[in-house]
């Protein structure tokens, strides 16, 4: 048994994988294992993994048919022997002191989850993501408050749901049988970490950036994602069933669904098929859970969280909502065309 199991899901990451694995190989902390989960890669990713397995006995390669990052992470959890579990994405990398600093705090503070800061890296700039909570131990009600905030907090400064900023005590996952939802292809981190935070009592936050997040163009804010709304609804229903049945949690879940519907509308604008766009917009507008969430949310809260969109939906001005996003789609398509030409 080792102190930390580092799980790296890998699918066709040959261009970034060595940078990621080098950052793990050079850690100042030594008592860890790296579980390289090859998720059916068709490029040279497996060969790179095998090279590191020969280079460093702490690296172990496991291969499976392509099942997505959730399935790969779950396999890693099942094979992990560490006291703590930590996830790293293959297109990112971590600071050389990351595991040492996170483990030291997790062990000393007896934390169930330890969160580190991170750099957000694009092709234009590097920024440090800021959290709304101070560095230190959050336990009991303070820990629970953060779990509740996670439900609908998507505006800066906020604590993201990313799995890779969290070092998790393995016993917590085993005790509560927590795994990633393999049917969810987007926002799987959100579902997993929200459930996780409602199961813990001691959370330590390190405000120092120890993770380097390379923001790719494969993002809900940039590219069209098929079936995004159905996945958002699935997450809503999963949390509705699994979380404590309390009024504040239901209110937060309603706000989460409203905010996700905004993302879904924006995502639909990137659908290049006109009929597909119209069908998606109609599906969202007619969704009974969304309409009930809007009905249950006060006008002041809804407007603060979702702006004019909330007012239009609340007043049932669905024609204006359709018109608004039809116009946005035209602008979006022009922007996409300009980007591709560039």
DSSP string, 116-140: EEEEEE-SS-EEEPPPSS-SEEEET
* pLDDT tens by residue, 107-139: 999 999 999 999 999 988 999 999 999 999 999
Mean pLDDT of the chain: 94
- Over residues 70-96, the mean pLDDT reads 98
342 vs 183, which has greater pLDDT? 183
Residue (of 290, 174, 270) closest to 220 by Cα position: 270
Give the Cβ contact number of residue 158 at 10 Å. Answer: 16
Note whether 218 and 251 are within 8 A (CB).
Answer: no
Task: Over range 27-51, report the average pLDDT.
Answer: 98
Region 248-255: mean pLDDT is: 97
- Name residues whose C-beta falls within 8 Å of residue 171's C-beta, 6 or more positions apart in sequence: none
User: How does DSSP classify residue 186?
Assistant: S
Instruction: Reply yes or no on whether the pLDDT at 98 is more than 50.
Output: yes
Q: Per-residue pLDDT averaged across 35-48, rounded?
A: 98
The residues near 131 (Cβ < 8 Å, ≥ 6 apart) are 115, 117, 157, 158, 159, 205, 207
Of the listed ranges 157-171, 211-225, 258-272, the one predicted with least confidence: 211-225
Contact 112, 202 (CB under 8 A): yes
pLDDT tens digits for range 278-330:
999 999 999 999 999 999 999 999 999 999 999 999 999 999 999 999 999 98
User: What's the pLDDT at 154?
Assistant: 76
Residue 116: both structure tokens together? 């580190």
Confidence of residue 217 (pLDDT cuts 50, 70, 90): low
Long-range residue pairs from 251-255, CB within 8 A, at least 24 positions apart, any chain:
251/296, 251/297, 252/148, 252/151, 252/152, 253/151, 253/152, 253/293, 254/292, 254/293, 254/294, 254/296, 254/297, 255/151, 255/152, 255/293, 255/297, 255/301, 255/305
Average pLDDT of the residues in 273-277: 95
Torsion-angle region of 140 (φ positive above 0: left; ψ -120 to 50: alpha; else: beta): left
């Amino acid at each position: 048994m080792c102190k930390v199991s580092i799980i790296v899901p890998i699918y066709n990451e040959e261009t970034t994988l060595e940078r990621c694995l080098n950052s793990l190989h050079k850690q100042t902390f030594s008592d860890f294992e790296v579980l390289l989960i090859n998720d059916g890669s068709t490029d040279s990713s497996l060969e790179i993994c095998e090279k590191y397995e020969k280079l460093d006995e702490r690296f172990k390669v496991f291969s499976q048919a392509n099942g997505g990052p959730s399935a790969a992470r779950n396999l890693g959890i099942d094979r992990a022997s560490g006291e703590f579990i930590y996830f790293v994405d293959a297109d990112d990398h971590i600071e050389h002191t990351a595991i040492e600093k996170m483990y030291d705090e997790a062990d000393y503070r007896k934390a169930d989850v330890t969160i580190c800061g991170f750099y957000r890296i694009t092709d234009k700039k590097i920024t440090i993501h800021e959290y709304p909570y101070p560095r230190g131990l959050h336990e009991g009600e303070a820990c629970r408050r953060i779990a509740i905030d996670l439900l609908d907090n998507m505006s800066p400064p906020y604590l993201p749901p990313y799995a890779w900023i969290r070092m998790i005590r393995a016993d917590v996952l085993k005790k509560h049988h927590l795994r990633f939802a393999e049917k969810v292809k987007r926002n799987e981190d959100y579902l997993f970490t929200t459930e996780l935070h409602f199961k813990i009592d001691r959370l330590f936050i390190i405000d120092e950036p120890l993770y380097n997040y390379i923001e790719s163009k494969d993002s809900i804010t940039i590219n069209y994602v098929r079936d995004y709304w159905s996945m958002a609804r699935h997450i809503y229903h999963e949390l509705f069933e699994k979380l404590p049945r309390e009024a504040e949690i239901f209110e937060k879940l309603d706000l989460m669904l409203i905010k996700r519907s905004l993302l879904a509308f924006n995502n639909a604008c990137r659908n290049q098929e006109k009929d597909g766009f119209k069908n998606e917009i109609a599906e969202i507008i007619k969704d009974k859970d969304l309409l009930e969430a809007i009905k249950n949310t006060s006008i002041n809260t809804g407007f603060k969280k979702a702006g004019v969109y909330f007012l239009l939906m609340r007043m049932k001005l669905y024609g204006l909502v359709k018109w608004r996003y039809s116009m946005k789609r035209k602008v979006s398509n022009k922007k996409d065309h300009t980007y591709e030409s560039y």
